[in-house]
Amino acid sequence: MYVSKLGNNSDGKSWKRAFNSIPAALSAVPDDRGGHRIIIRPDTYVEANLSTAFKGAKGSYNLITGDTNGDLGSGAKGRIIIDSGDPEKGFKSYDWWGTQLFDDIAIPKPGKGRF
């Protein structure tokens, strides 16, 4: 499956028909047998959460690959930036298991400020 902001966001089966977001491609993973590959065209993607219903099978994992040098057919060279830091579009992550203590009182509510 392909991801590109230039695709028509239909089924991800080619660069022309590429999904416009990584979550759309992850949602299209059809089963838990694994061996599926998502190829991403260089660009900046503001994504809230990256998860899939299927993680793949042991020894046959799903892959997310960046076409950073254009060798996989995107025709583009560059970086792939996945930005989850936008307060409106992205997700602010918190390290619940780190050395700093967080709880639901310390985490700012939407529109109430940030750390």
**What average pLDDT does the segment 25-46 reach?**
93
Q: Which residues pair with 33 in a beta bridge?
A: none
Q: Quick one: pLDDT at residue 90?
A: 55
Show the tokens assigned to 86.
Answer: 């936008």
Q: Quick one: pLDDT at residue 38?
A: 95
Higher model confidence: residue 107 or residue 9?
9
For the stretch 49-91, pLDDT in tens is 788 888 788 888 889 999 999 999 999 999 999 887 766 665 5
- Grouping H, G, I as helix, E, B as strand and the rest as coil, residue 24 is helix
Distances (CA, A) of 47 to 20, 21, 88: 11, 8, 11
For residues 8 and 4, give the distance between their C-alpha atoms in angstroms, rounded to a whole number: 9
Q: Quick one: pLDDT at residue 115?
A: 45
Mean confidence (pLDDT) of the chain: 82
Asked whether the predicted pLDDT for residue 10 surpasses 50, the reply is yes
